[in-house]
């Protein structure tokens, strides 16, 4: 079965373009995103992953972290700690200030070097909350702009960043922005997102950046 019920003669040329991530081809990116979002895919019907519990939860005020933002991140971040809850409830002033300086309507693919450096500065705010949790909340508030950090993403880009763990973040942001800036990747990701949003028919924070993240994670975990 082809996505959206299209016949083989009607397949868009974009379907045959492979996403390239960290220098490696991801031929199943469209299927991986569709599966995660609960849409029919080439080898099966709808499935349930974390999409309805993270991407479909409204983000609210883009400059204010609300309890629902932290709770939604628990769908992607097993092991939410009391320290994480306390930080966003009582001590997130530095994070809020960092966040308020980031534009709400700019994609990472279009970010200049100074803005990429601002995003990389999140690394300086990781005490007492780890980068994985901070970046997920930041992505909730800036879904076009701030990547999410986790082991899958860090490992995927390690041949490029040369770093392990949180120290990879600055080079990781740069590498992801370059992959999103690639014209073939950009057209394919935009097409995947448009197709998914059209079929889902409901408000969602799904972006090209998020679609890339989903494809990376699903390739390893699905």
SS (H, E, C) 139-150: HHHCCCCCCCCC
Residues 6+ positions from 98 with CB-CB distance below 8 Å: 118, 121, 122, 125
H-helix or E-strand spanning residue 19: strand 19-21
List, in sequence order, every residue forming a beta bridge with 19; answer none if it has no partner: 26
Bond preceding residue 54 cis, omega within 30 of 0: no
Per the confidence metrics, is the pTM higher than 0.85? yes
Residue 218, Cα to own-chain centre: how many angstroms?
12
The pLDDT confidence band at residue 125, using thresholds 50, 70 and 90, is: very high
Instruction: List the single range of 4-13, 19-28, 160-169, 200-209 with lowest mean pLDDT.
Output: 4-13
Q: Which of 145, 140, 142, 169 is nearest to 157 (CA)?
A: 169
Q: Is the pLDDT of residue 2 over 50?
A: no
- Who has greater pLDDT, 60 or 35? 35
Give the DSSP letter of residue 28: T
Mean pLDDT of 132-157: 96
Q: Please give the mean pLDDT across all residues of the chain.
A: 91
Tell me whether residue 19 is exposed, middle or buried, using C-beta atoms within 10 angstroms of its C-beta: 0 to 12, 13 to 18, 19 or more. Answer: buried
pLDDT at 1 over 50: no
Measured from the Cβ of residue 5, the count of other Cβ atoms closer than 10 Å reads 9
In this prediction, residue 94 has a pLDDT band, given cuts at 50, 70 and 90, of very high
Q: Look at 158-167, 176-185, 196-205 and tell me which has the smallest mean pLDDT.
A: 196-205
Summarised one tens digit per residue, pLDDT across range 68-89 is 999 999 999 888 899 999 999 9
Question: Given pLDDT bands bounded at 50, 70 and 90, which one contains residue 203?
Answer: confident
Q: What is the pLDDT of residue 9?
A: 36
With 80 as the cut, is the pLDDT of residue 179 above it? yes
* Percentage above 70 pLDDT, the chain: 92
């Amino acid at each position: 079965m082809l996505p959206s019920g299209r016949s083989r003669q009607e397949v868009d040329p974009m379907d045959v373009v492979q996403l390239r991530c960290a220098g490696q081809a991801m031929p199943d990116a469209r299927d991986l995103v569709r599966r995660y979002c609960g849409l029919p895919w080439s080898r099966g019907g709808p499935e349930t992953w974390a999409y309805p519990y993270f991407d479909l939860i409204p983000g609210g005020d883009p400059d204010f972290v609300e309890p629902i933002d932290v709770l939604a991140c628990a769908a992607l971040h097993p092991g939410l700690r009391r320290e994480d809850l306390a930080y966003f409830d009582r001590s997130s002033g530095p994070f809020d200030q960092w966040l308020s300086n980031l534009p709400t309507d700019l994609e990472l693919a279009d970010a200049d070097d100074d803005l990429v450096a601002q995003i990389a500065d999140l690394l300086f705010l990781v005490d007492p909350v780890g980068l994985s949790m901070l970046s997920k909340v930041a992505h909730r508030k800036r879904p076009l702009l701030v990547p999410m950090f986790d082991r899958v993403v860090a490992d995927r880009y390690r041949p490029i960043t040369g770093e392990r763990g949180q120290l990879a973040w600055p080079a990781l942001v740069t590498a992801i922005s370059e992959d999103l800036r690639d014209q073939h990747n950009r057209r394919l990701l935009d097409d995947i997102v448009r197709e998914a949003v059209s079929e889902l028919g409901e408000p969602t924070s799904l972006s090209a950046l998020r679609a890339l993240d989903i494809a990376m994670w699903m390739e390893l975990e699905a």
